[in-house]
Amino acid sequence: MNGKTVTELTDVLYPFGSAFSKTDWATLACFWHPAAESEEVANKPFGTVLLDIRVVVYRSGGKVSAALDICPHRGAQLSNGEMVDGNLQCPYHGLRYDGSGVCTRIPAQKPDAPIPSHMRLTTFDTVERFGIIWVNIMGAENQLAPLPDWSLLEENNTQSARVPTETWNVNAARHAENFNDISHLAFVHETTFGDVPYEVPDYSLEIEENTMRHYYVDGGSSMTFDRRLTRKGERRVPEVYDKVDYEYRFTFPFASSLHITDPDGRCVSIYDVIQPISVKKSRIFKHSARNYNQDQPMDDLVEFEVEVNKEDREVIEPALPVHVPLDPKEEYHIRADRWSIAYRRKLSKYGMGLDVDRVVPD
């Protein structure tokens, strides 16, 4: 971006008072993160926070743009402004910016007066895919990993729906570990998943450059697939299948998906990616998908997922320390934790955890 190195950009952008260490921040800023749902950015600019910096997302000239949400003139918050003729208009003095962040109009100047060249927004690279607007603060050329490959979501025989996006007081890596953790299912999700054996199957784990995959075959509960048959509040003895495939695919740093397939080939998938707002705050983007019952509404599946979320949230929001300790000696591990051990090791390899300060909860 603007021909600057990651170090130079970090010096300019690393936010004062951030609970991320400077190296953790710079590392995370090299990944693509979700910043908005596609539908959230329409005729109005959308303001959000990514890695403790204010970001405005807006549509201009058929493409989506993202920039530091601060007017370079007098510091006003641009996302409180509006879109005028495809330009982002500042709410303070009406300055306008096009999709590349260039100031196109200063109303207080005569139309032919020159616009100072440094009157431009600090813009960020964006990609719109899977119903999400992704932002890379350090720019595509500095990316540490590509977007997750969620192309299954876009296939014709897949029906998908967004699970309402939620903001949790949780660290993004904690959430990612929880999503990919198997041993908590029997305890945290008994109400939603039905009977899950305590013992964790010996799952296979593959580690690639920017992705991880783990899978196993196990018995499963019909509650996952036949959600429609269980009326709300009704305690039903679920049918149990002997062989259900569980496949988890993960893309660094925070994008997960789980694909559960029953013996008849019916597959339910959950896609989950986390926007790290700050060390202790995350926005969770989720999709639910399936390859059967395509004529049926997805409401029940979404509702199911909302309930699963609630169960996770109650456990992981109060977890301490707030951040995931990357030093393997800091927490205890069991064999079932092979995924999270690998995850932490890999985060270290990306350059994280070199100067971790303990984050104290509020």
Partner 1 sequence: MLNSFSSSDREILAQYWHPVCWTSDLGEKPLPVVLLDTSLVIYRTDDDIVAAIDRCPHRGAKLSGGEIEKGRLVCPYHGLEFAEGGACVHAAGTDSNKIPKRLNLQTFPIQIEHGLVWVMLGDDRGAPLPIWEELYDEAFQTFPAPPFDCEAGPTRFCENFNDVVHFSWVHSGTFGQKNYVPELPYEFEETKHGLKHNIVYRQTDRTDFESSEEETTNALYSYDFTFPFANHMCLDFGSDRVQHIFAVASPVSAETCRLFFQFGRNYDQDKPIQKSLEFEVAVCAEDLGLLKDIFPKSSPLDIKEEVHLVFDKWSSAYRRRLYKLGLRN
In the complex, the residues that contact partner 1 under the rule CB under 8 A are 54, 70, 72-77, 80, 90-94, 106-109, 113, 116, 118-119
Shortest Å, Cβ 43 to partner 1: 18
Nearer to partner 1, 74 or 333 (CB): 74
DSSP-assigned beta bridge partners for residue 285: 273
Shortest Å, Cβ 90 to partner 1: 8
- Where b means 16+ CB within 10 Å and e means fewer, 189-206 reads eeebbbebeeebeebeee
Tokens of 263: 């013996």
Shortest Å, Cβ 358 to partner 1: 20
Nearer to partner 1, 46 or 130 (CB): 46
Shortest Å, Cβ 76 to partner 1: 6
Q: What distance in Å separates the CA atoms of residue 128 and residue 34, rounded to the nearest whole number?
A: 9
Shortest Å, Cβ 12 to partner 1: 12
Q: What distance in Å separates the CA atoms of residue 9 and residue 13, rounded to the nearest whole number?
A: 6
**Under DSSP, is residue 304 helix (H, G, I), strand (E, B) or coil?**
helix
Measure CA 281 to chain center.
12
Give the number of other CB atoms < 10 A from CB of residue 348.
14
Tokens of 67: 């920039």
Shortest Å, Cβ 66 to partner 1: 16
Shortest Å, Cβ 35 to partner 1: 18
Which whole-number Å values give the CA distances from 57 to 174, 178, 353, in the listed order? Answer: 26, 29, 30
Position of tokens 């008994």? Answer: 190
The answer to whether the beta carbons of residues 45 and 92 sit under 8 Å apart is: no
Nearer to partner 1, 61 or 116 (CB): 116
Nearer to partner 1, 5 or 109 (CB): 109
Nearer to partner 1, 110 or 335 (CB): 110
Q: Where are the alpha helices (DSSP H) in the chain?
A: 6-13, 22-28, 172-179, 185-188, 190-193, 299-316, 338-350
Nearer to partner 1, 277 or 302 (CB): 277
Specify the amino acid at residue 285. F
Nearer to partner 1, 92 or 292 (CB): 92
